[in-house]
Structure 1
Amino acid sequence: MLLSVEALAVARGGIALLEGVALTLAEGQALILRGPNGIGKTTLLRAVAGLQPAVAGEIRLPPEGAAYAGHADGLKAVLTVAENLAFWARIYGQEGIAPALAAMDLEALADRPAQNLSAGQKRRLGLARLLVTGRRLWLLDEPTVSLDAASVALFAAAVRSHLGRGGAALMATHIDLGLAEAAVLDLTPFRAKPPAAGEGGGFDARFDGAFA
C-alpha cells in the first residue's frame, strides 16, 4: 500500500472543510478527487503531502515520501528547461532527464530559459519534474491547468506509464484526463458539518494523527 488515509479532517483558516475522509492507494492505482470549488481538495492534498497539519486522522505514506505538484510550477526562471530538470533530479538524488523531456515534449525547448516559456510550456515543465523525483506516489492539484488537449494527453500518458511501473497518483481535477482506469472519489459526503447553535466554529488547530 502506497497511501492510506483514515478518518482525516482538514481545515483552512480555522474553518472546517472535510472530515472522516478515508482512502487507500496501492501500486498501479490512480484516484481522482472531485467536488465543488472550495470543498477542500487542495487542503486535503496539502495535508497528505505534509505541507500543512491535518486536524485529525492518520496518513501513511511510502518511506521515501511523495512528489507534490500544486498550482505553482516550482521553476527557476533564469535556468533553462534542462537545467531546471537537472536541478530537481539532483535534489531527489536521481540522474538522467532525457525521459522526462521526451514524455512532456520538451526536447526542442531544452535550452530555453524558463522565463521565456508560455504558460502551457511552464506547466509541462512543472509536471516533468515529477518524472525526475523517483517518488512512487504522486499528489497532483489541478495538474492540467493551462494545458491544451495534446498536452493533457501527454500528461495522461505519463501518469499511465507511472502506474505501469508500480506508482500511484492522487489527483484533484475537473478535467477528463482520459484515464478510464482511475477511480473517482466525490468529497461532497465528507463536507464538514457546520457547528450547532452556541458552539464555536472551526477546528482546534492540532494534529491528532501521525505520519508514517
Structure 2
Amino acid sequence: MLEVEDLACLKGDRLLFRELAFAVAPHEMLRIAGPNGAGKTSLLRLLTGLSLPEVGEVRWQGQPIRRVREAFHRALCYLGHSPALNDMLTPLENLRFACEAGGDQVSEQDCEQALVRIGLANQLDLPARVLSQGQRRRVGLARLFLADKRPLWVLDEPFTALDVKAVAELAQTLSDHCAAGGTVLLTTHQDAPFAAPPRMLDLGEWAC
C-alpha cells in the first residue's frame, strides 16, 4: 500500500498544495486530476522519491520510502510525461536499455514481443528520431508489458499522442494490472475506457 500523510509541495516560491493525505491499496487505480499548475507532475515526483516534500511523508508498506528506497524502487514502475528516448537508438535498443537501467533483466526477445504487442512490429529497427510522437510514446509504454512483477505503476499522462485504439488497449492493460493485484496512479486529461472507473483525487481541492 502507498500512503501519503500531511504532504506539502513547494515549487519555486509557490506552495502548490499542503496537508495532502490519501492511501492507495492493491487492486486500486487512482486518477490524479486538477487544473494546469495544480502540481500533478510534482506530486508524482514526490510519490516516486524523485523530489522531497516540504512537509509530510510518503510510505510504502507502512515504511517511509526514504528508509526502504531499494525495496520501493524494485516495486515501482514510473513512466514520466516524456518518452526519454535516445534518437540514435532503435525502439528495441531503447526499451532494453530502459529496462536494464531500471533493474529489470530482460532478453531481446522479451523486448521485441512487447514492442510488437504495442503495435511497433514495423518500427523495431528504425532510429527513434524518425518515429511519430505516438510511436515514441508507445516505445516507453511497452515497458509496462515487462513490468508485471512490479506492483506499483505511476504514469504521467500515458495517453498523450495515442490514437483511439491505443488508448483503449492501454486502458485495458492498466485495468488488468489492477485486477491482478497491482496499483496504478496516473494523471491524464483524457477519458479512457477503463474496466472500472478509477478513484479520483482532485488536487484543486488541496491548492493553496
What range describes the TM-score normalised by the shorter chain of this pair?
0.7 to 0.9
TM-score for the superposition, normalised by structure 2:
0.84
Per the alignment, residue 86 of structure 1 pairs with 96
Per the alignment, residue 85 of structure 2 pairs with 75
Match of 1:122 among 112, 136, 154: 136
Larger relative helix fraction: 2
CA distance in 1, matches of 2:84, 2:180: 25
Q: Quote the sequence identity (%).
A: 40
CA offsets 1:54-112 (integer angstroms, 9 cap, x no match)? 11111013623222222211211111111111212222223222452244222232222
* Segments ≥4 residues shifted beyond 4 Å: none
Per the alignment, residue 8 of structure 2 pairs with 9
CA RMSD of aligned residues (A): 1.7
AA aligned to 2:72 is E
**Structure 2 residue 75 is the aligned partner of structure 1 residue 64:** no
Question: Structure 1 residues 103 and 185, CA, compared in 2 at 3 Å: closer, same or farther?
Answer: farther
SS at match of 2:72: coil
TM-score for the superposition, normalised by structure 1:
0.83
CA distance in 1, matches of 2:200, 2:33: 7
User: How many aligned positions are there?
Assistant: 191
CA distance in 2, matches of 1:102, 1:160: 20
Per the alignment, residue 22 of structure 2 pairs with 23
CA distance in 2, matches of 1:123, 1:146: 7
Matches within 5 A, 1:45-64: 45-61=44-60, 63-64=71-72
Structure 1: which 5+ runs fail to align? 193-212
CA offsets 1:23-60 (integer angstroms, 9 cap, x no match)? 21222211001111111111111111111111111101
